[in-house]
Structure 1
Amino acid sequence: MRADEIRDTSKLARLTLRGSTSRIHEVHRGIADRAFRAVGPAGRPVQAVHDAIADLSYSGVRLALGAGARVAGEAAALKASGRALDGEPAGRVAQAILNGAHGDLVRREAPSLALDMTVRVAGRAVPAEPAALRAAFPGATGRIAVFLHGLTETEVSWCYGAERRGTPGLTYGTQLQEDLGLTPVHLRYNTGLHISENGRALDALLAALVDAWPHEVQDVVLIGHSMGGLVARSALHQAGGGTAEAHAWTHLVRDTVTLGSPHLGAPLERGVHRLTAQLARLPETRPLARLLALRSVGIKDLRHGTLVEADWTDRDLDALDRGPHTHVPLHDGARHFVVLATLTRDPSARAADLLGDLLVPPRSASGDTGDDDRLAFPPDHVHRLGGLHHFDLLNHPRVYEQIRSWLVDRPEGPRPAAPDGSGTDPSARRS
């Protein structure tokens, strides 16, 4: 690790140790208060002595743990190797999990450990600059497939299960490149930030990528797993896709594919949200509620599939009320596809709606609200696969065959004209 990464890791450890000590203290205090209330007024002198001793003891522990973490961090920083944390596969996984679980805290308190939205090739970040892209993509074509992973994942997650099946290195990207001439571009980003923040970062990155790409870009396919599909939708929305003011890259998006994306939210996050509120009602369990509330804002956005900044600005994300939720329609001018999985072998079985793919139910994955706000996926653009779970969608032959069949069956002819009438004129696209 680099010295700054070690120091920031030490700072997070210090915050964790001191915070955990405070939570234990609060549980102790809550239980003690209830016990002394049962005794009545006669126990107040004893309670005062008890509380004073407890406060002093826990303060000493917090101070000692914090100081110990600081000293250990400084000592380790002096022996830093200078190699970045993400220089090793295990480090990348640890960083991705840390960012997914507490990405907003990491960016604020330990910025050297926070991930940015970047193109990645062989684990390394590639700047969206002409020379860097030419070197990183020597066989680039004018057709790009952009891959966006989900919560706590990295670009390596697209290899899920390939080694077990005896096909290491085989991904949707490599297959689309061989079969359809699409150049795969894999991104890595901080999944613990708000989805709208990552959408804004994706908008900026794709604009730079298209401008700096080694060849004139003909079309772009966006493929997102889980949260990645929501980030793609947010980026298209924030870039004004389908409007006269739309950013140039949006006119190149011909197709999007979401794989198990919780367009209507994730039941697990809604369950944790309700549990947090219940735990907060009692003094003895309130510290546990505070611990659960520390999960990242990216995770909290998955409660309802929040895509726009206005839905979370100046709001208490742990409040029980649902709050505003902006309906974001599908980007006009592109085809949109969904692959969803169910644990049951029969995706039409009643249990399939209940179990979904373990994390996302079919109605959420297909954006089916049952009312006028449902997402306008045509029925033949939603493919259900039974006997698979959420992470199988990252890399599975049955999923790839469906993606390939959709993309190979694309309409021929000129691209639709942009709202400003610019059509496919390269100068208009890059204005």
Structure 2
Amino acid sequence: MIKKNAIFTICAKNYMAHAKTLAGSIKEFHPECDFFILLSDELEGNDLDCGYQIIESKDIGIKEFEKMAFQYDVIEFSTSVKPYFIKKLFDQGYDKVLYIDPDMVVYSSLNFIFNHLDNYDAVLTPHLLKPYIKYTGATSEEELLFVGIYNLGFFAVKNSSTGNHIANWWIEKLSNQCYADKEDALHVDQKWMDFLPSLYTSEVLILRHPGVNLAFWNFHERTLYKENGAYFVDNNDTPLVILHFSGLDADNAEAVCRKQTKYTLSTIPEYRELFELYVKLLEVNGVGTLSKLLYKYNQFDNGVPVLKYHRRLFRGLITEGHHFENLFSTAGGSYYSFLIKNKAMLIDNDGKYKALKKTYGKDPAVFNKVFKALKIFKALFGMKKYYLMMRFFAIYNRFEKQTFLVSDKND
């Protein structure tokens, strides 16, 4: 039997221009390799035909699919379905599988990565490759400690007994623990992979190739240059393989990434050609139209947006044993009607509750009023009770902990 390789990416509809751009780069170097776009969304009648296989995540056999689509936001959900699709590809007979984020581009052959899977069962790429006494990166070391040692924008795995065990282990974790949640030390699918080298030891390769998963968080430790029309990293024996355009705003490529302020294309001119070409490819692939498409699982069936508050409170309620059917429904007996009944429904059609700074501006006057109220509380009740109140809020500030707002175990 001929062994088959597969590469896939995952995105919602609004990121299809990115997925198409990635697909074009993969097909340039690997026309023989099957490529899939897993849609963490639904087509909803939109014609997204792009010449590549698009599969809706609802069709890959995920148990409690609706629960996952509701409890997670778009980023959490898009990452949670990753091992499910890896397992599906294994079941379809694919021997080696590569996952690549939609905001990446491939610039040279991936054969050496597939070849690594002859000797290893999985391949990870670290955010950083070098130790620093005086760290100068665009992303703080503390942030990297939180998000994880390895970047899961890229992952490779083999259809072996160990590879299947990794997929099943990951599925178990991500079915209900794929939150971006600092309080629980979770960062979607990625943080879990910190365990992989210790759990599977010599079966996992930590790939230290500086041309793979080049991104703003490691620009400070790697040197990009162009020679005879090709790009290299650090030396002319190391080609640029995958560049990760993480956090790029296509309308403001000069800023490099929304998540950092260290770099602009003016301070790293060696990247300008790549970034400007990438934006042009996104435009050719329809980013202006596709980026405006709405995510299916971001609203109830009456169009009311599903907020983080709704998702996290739901998480707390099901932990306490509550059960709801048809989670996106607003009919009687639904989660939506449960919130209405308990006068705990929050509707935010204009998005003003998403970010306090966007709603109130920088250093808003209302914050000073809150601070004044807290000072009055301290003056009236003393520092001891103020301290205890702050300790209480440190625990119960999370929406998951506020089920007392809507439920009573004796109801």
Q: Report the TM-score range of the alignment, normalised by the length of the smaller protein.
A: under 0.3
More helix by share: 1
Task: Decide which structure has the larger Cα Rg and report it.
Answer: 1
TM-score, normalised to structure 1's length? 0.22
TM-score, normalised to structure 2's length? 0.23
